[in-house]
Amino acid sequence: MGRNGDIDVDHAVDRATDLFWRRGCTGTSPQGLLDVLSIGSLGFHAAFGSKEQFYRRAVERCSALQAEDLVRILEHATEIRPAVRQVLVVMIEGGRADPSPGSPGVGGAAGNGAGLSLAGRAVAALPEVESALAGALGRAEARGDLPPGKDPVELARFLTTFVQGLRIVGRARLGHSFVEDALAVAMPALD
């Protein structure tokens, strides 16, 4: 994203994300955004377009930052199972921690008012995370940490699909024990 004229777009998006997180796109007033960003209406529209376009940028930035963190964990993993479990927990907890129905996280996809579908928002970071999972699983296979016959790409696809399902189900606030039970069933896929 970078800069747009005299406005640091990434910084602006970071500052406004908390507002979107608490109120969602629909619940965030244009004036609220202007106040948080300390910018005038003309400057906002020149830099970002509409509130909905700005919201999309916030979703994309959150997804990109999360993906970077998860990729970093997987790239430095020397033991595959703890690293995969850590990544899954981070991804699941990200959805469960989403406190509002309009937040930029996957869990807040319903009613966000910006035309962002659940599928569109959920997959924003998935290709990068899935690729990182497949790479880490491939390295584990080469070290002999995965049993023969396990396909790293198929496992990565299963795990990312599993996480997205748990993030959506997590909106029902099913609790930590539900997540732990689900992880206990999913992790043996690596055995």
| Average pLDDT for the chain | 78
**3-190 topology per CATH:** Tetracycline Repressor; domain 2 (1.10.357)
Among the ranges 39-43, 55-59, 103-107, 171-175, which has the highest mean pLDDT value? 39-43
- With a cut of 50, say whether residue 173 has pLDDT above it: yes
- With a cut of 90, say whether residue 50 has pLDDT above it: no
Burial category of 137 from C-beta neighbours within 10 Å (exposed 0-12, middle 13-18, buried 19 and up) = buried
Cα-Cα-Cα-Cα dihedral sign, residues 112, 116, 117, 118: negative
According to the model, what pLDDT value does residue 90 have?
81
Cα–Cα distance measured from residue 182 to residue 169, given in angstroms and rounded to the nearest whole number? 11
> Domain map of the chain by residue range?
3-190
According to the model, what pLDDT value does residue 153 have?
95
According to the model, what pLDDT value does residue 111 have?
40
Phi/psi for 190 (5° steps) reads: -85, -5
Place of tokens 């039970």: 181
Amino acid at 166: L
